[in-house]
Amino acid sequence: MTDLLAEMKRVKARVDGLILNQLLPESSSIKEVGLLYRMMRDYPMRQAKGMRPFLCVTTCRAAGGKEDDALLTAACIELFQNWILIHDDIEDGSELRRGEPALHRKYGDALALNAGDALHARTWEAILLNGRSLGLERTFAVMEEFSHMVNETTEGQHMELGWVVGKRWDLSEKDYYEMCTRKTSWYTVASPCRLGALVAGSRGGMLDQLREFGISLGIAFQIQDDCLNLAGDQKKYGKAKSDDILEGKRTLILLHLLAVASQGEMDRVISIMNKKRESKSADDVSYVMSLIDKYDAIGFARKRATELMKEALFTLRGIDWKGDRDAAEMLTSFARFAVEREW
Given the rule CB under 8 A, which residues bind its own copies?
28, 30, 32-33, 35-36, 84, 87, 90-92, 107-111, 113-115, 117-118, 120-122, 124-125, 128, 131, 136-137, 140, 143-144, 146-147, 150-151, 154-155, 157-159, 161-165, 178, 182
In the complex, least distance from residue 105 CB atom to its own copies, rounded to whole angstroms: 14
In the complex, least distance from residue 196 CB atom to its own copies, rounded to whole angstroms: 20
In the complex, least distance from residue 281 CB atom to its own copies, rounded to whole angstroms: 23
Measured from the CB atom, is 113 or 285 closer to its own copies? 113
Dist CA 155 CA 196 (whole Å) = 23
Measured from the CB atom, is 249 or 336 closer to its own copies? 249
Measured from the CB atom, is 92 or 226 closer to its own copies? 92
In the complex, least distance from residue 104 CB atom to its own copies, rounded to whole angstroms: 11
Dist CA 97 CA 238 (whole Å) = 6
Q: Name all contacts of 83-88 with Cβ < 8 Å and 24+ positions apart.
A: 83/116, 83/117, 83/119, 83/120, 83/123, 84/116, 84/153, 84/157, 84/187, 85/43, 86/43, 86/112, 86/113, 86/115, 86/116, 86/119, 87/113, 87/116, 88/157
Cα 131 to the chain's mean position, in Å? Answer: 26
In the complex, least distance from residue 164 CB atom to its own copies, rounded to whole angstroms: 8
The DSSP code sequence of 118-156 is: HHHHHHHHHHHHHHHHH-HHHHHHHHHHHHHHHHHHHHH
Dist CA 44 CA 18 (whole Å) = 11
Measured from the CB atom, is 5 or 111 closer to its own copies? 111
In the complex, least distance from residue 135 CB atom to its own copies, rounded to whole angstroms: 9
Measured from the CB atom, is 15 or 115 closer to its own copies? 115
Burial class of residue 204 (count of CB atoms within 10 Å of its CB; 0-12, 13-18, 19+): exposed
Measured from the CB atom, is 153 or 202 closer to its own copies? 153
In the complex, least distance from residue 232 CB atom to its own copies, rounded to whole angstroms: 25
Measured from the CB atom, is 235 or 276 closer to its own copies? 276
Buried b (16+ CB within 10 A) or exposed e, 284-321: bbebbbebbeebebbebbbebbbebbebbbebbeebeb
